[in-house]
Each structure stands twice: as structure tokens, then as C-alpha cells.
Amino acid sequence: MQKPLDFLAIGDITTDAFIRLSHAHVVDSMDHHAKELCVSFGDKIPYESVDIIRGVGNSPNAAVASAKLGLRSAIITHVGDDQNGKECIEALTSQGVSDEFVKINKGIETNYHYVLWYGQERTILVKHHEFPYELPNLTITPRWIYLSSMGENSLPYHMAIARYVTEHPDVKLAFQPGTFQMKLGVEKLADIYKHTEVFFCNVEEARLILKTDIDDKKELMKMIAAFGPKIVVITDGINGAYAYDGTDTWFMPIYPHEPYERTGAGDAFSSTFTSALALGKTIDEALLWGPVNAMSVVSDIGAQRGLLTKAQIADYLAKAPADYIPKKI
């Protein structure tokens, strides 16, 4: 890649197999803190359809979103030397994402996840293979790095990324922690948090990261900001999103829509917010963009099919309701 790099995503890639269920039901868990998807045990369960979507995951979704928005985008990720890996790479390049930093690993399978799709929600069966994570020699310094989900053996890799952003202070880091990154905890990833420009999570994840039960969104954002991120964004599903820059706090409602399947809404919001900043937009403007792409993504199956261009986002904003505006709180 010879041209300047705007957006470099780092994280695992996978194939999602969407299995649409009809013979299931949802119940409260025993502690009433969560919902559980139930199917008949020891039985044959009919399903409606299966859709196979290649080249997805938090970071690949972000890379595709940024490319659709006109940024020069690439990804650092790992695949196996199998057909699944080949098709994942092809899926990315077909969307304008550079595969220059994709490493093909012999003897390791490419990640493959099963998405149990029931109603508008999904439960994902995940398996992260243990890839030999290593930061490649970056001959071109990216303007933004977008870091998200990786496997449990990735702690040394995170330390290498932290060293890179420390040594390249002009590189801005966006951090959207995945399951295992949240499991690692703030202390082990302290240098990542310290150098983060913009941090993303949802309300439940914020409580998990902070090990707290408080519900006040402003307080949650301030607590995360204390670890180092300059901008903290917390999403709250259909209730909207919040942003905090160390001084001001904003609330942003969702863009009105009727969801079809909710996979990828958080990725679309976070990567679009980051891309807007990379394009020189303000926090207010980034808050306007994020929910539009999230709305579009949940109107289709999977995390990438509904991603929009700048022109398409502008069209939605032109016809947005009058109350679709960020409000300082």
C-alpha cells in the first residue's frame, strides 16, 4: 500500500453462519439479570434457513465501514490456510479493504462462528483459534488504529500495540473491547486504555469492565475516562447513546427504524463514529452519523450488508426527524 493509510483495524476475523430458528423461546435466567434462549433438549430442532457471511468480526466490520465511508482502510488479522480463510480475505478486498497485513497461518483453522438467530436477536457460538499474534512492520503510519476483539492468548500482542502507539503519538487509537479483552481487565490493558483517543462499549459492558452495578451513564463514562480515554462513548441499545470528552456529555437518540436482525449495530455505530472523526467531523457530527449506519445494518442480515456511504448517510440525515439531534446533558 503506497498511499497514506487512514484507518487500520486490528482484530480477529471469522465467518458467521446465521441459523434462523423458529422453534425456540426466551426466558429469564434464574437470577433475573439476563435472558436465556431455550430449545428442546435431546430433540431434533427444525430451522428456517442458514446464511453464510464471510470476513466479519468487530475489526473487519469496522474496516469495511470505514472503506465504505471513503477512508483508505486496511486490517491486521490472521486466517488459516484453508478455503474459509481465502474467502474471508476475498470478502474484505471486495469491499475495498487492503489485505496487505493479513497473515495466513499454516495448520490453523480460520475462525468460524454460529449465530443462533431468533426473532430480532442473536446468540453467537464463538471459537477464537490461538493464532501467533505479531504486529507486522508498518511501513506506513496510519492516522487511526481501531482495536477490537481477539483471542485469550493476545496479551503480549496488546503490549506491542501499546508500545507502537506510545512511539507514534500522532496515531489515534479507537478501542472497542471484545469479550476476551474485557476478561483481561483494565489493569493488564492499562497502557491501551491510557493511549486511547475514543473508547466504545455498551452499558452492560461498562458495568462489567468497572465491576459495578451503577446505572448512571455519566458516572460510568467518567469512571472509564479515568483510565485514560479522551472520549468515552457508551451505547444503550434502543435507548440511544452517550458520549463524554472530559468536559461535555451528550445524549444521542437512535435513528427511527424497525430492526430485522441486530448483529453488528454496535460495530457500525462505533466504526462510523471513529470514521467521522477521521474525516474531520466533530463529536456532535459523529453522533449523528453513528446511529444512521447502525440503523441501516440492522435492517439487513449480518454486520456489513447494510453499511452506508457518506452520500447515503447524508440522505438519511436530510430526512431525519426534527428531534434527531445530539443534546448536551
> What pLDDT, on the 0 to 100 scale, is given for residue 259?
73
Does residue 177 lie in a domain region? Answer: yes
Q: Is residue 217 part of a domain?
A: yes
pLDDT digits (tens, 9 = 90+) for 266-322: 999 999 999 999 999 999 999 999 999 999 999 888 789 999 999 999 999 999 999
Strands (E), 100-247: 102-105, 111-118, 121-125, 144-147, 172-175, 196-202, 231-235, 241-244
pLDDT at 38 over 90: yes
Q: Which three cell numbers stand for residue 296?
A: 441501516
- Rounded to two decimals, the pTM is 0.93
- What per-residue confidence (pLDDT) applies to 1? 47
Domain that holds residue 65: 7-13+57-110+131-328
Domain holding 224: CATH number? 3.40.1190.20
Please check whether residue 35 lies inside any domain of the structure. Answer: no
pLDDT at 196 over 90: yes
Query: What's the total number of domains in the chain?
Result: 1
pLDDT in tens, 81-101: 999 999 999 999 999 999 999
Q: Is the pLDDT of residue 63 over 70?
A: yes
pLDDT digits (tens, 9 = 90+) for 243-271: 999 999 999 999 998 776 677 899 999 99
**189-215 mean pLDDT:** 97
Averaged over 116-135, what is the pLDDT? 89
CA 329 to chain CA centroid, nearest Å = 26
Could you tell me which residues come within 8 angstroms of residue 329 by beta carbon, excluding any fewer than 6 positions away?
A: 218, 242, 249, 250, 251
User: Is 238 a member of any domain?
Assistant: yes
CA distance 136 to 76: 8
Q: Does residue 29 have a pLDDT over 90? A: no
The DSSP output letter for 238 is: G
**Contact by Cβ (8 Å): 74, 63:** yes
**Domain assignment present for 305:** yes
Q: Do 14 and 56 form a contact (C-beta atoms < 8 A)?
A: yes
Residues 6+ apart with CB under 8 A from 95: 55, 64, 67, 68, 304
* Per-residue confidence band for 227, with pLDDT thresholds at 50, 70 and 90: very high
What was the pLDDT predicted at 131? 95
What mean pLDDT do residues 143-163 have? 96
Does any domain span residue 27? no
Query: For position 2, what pLDDT does the model report?
Result: 58
pLDDT of residue 32: 64
Question: Among 117, 114, 113, 120, which Cα is nearest to 39's?
Answer: 117
pLDDT of amino acid 258:
77
- Is residue 40 assigned to a domain? no
323 belongs to a structural domain: yes
| Average pLDDT of span 114-143 | 91
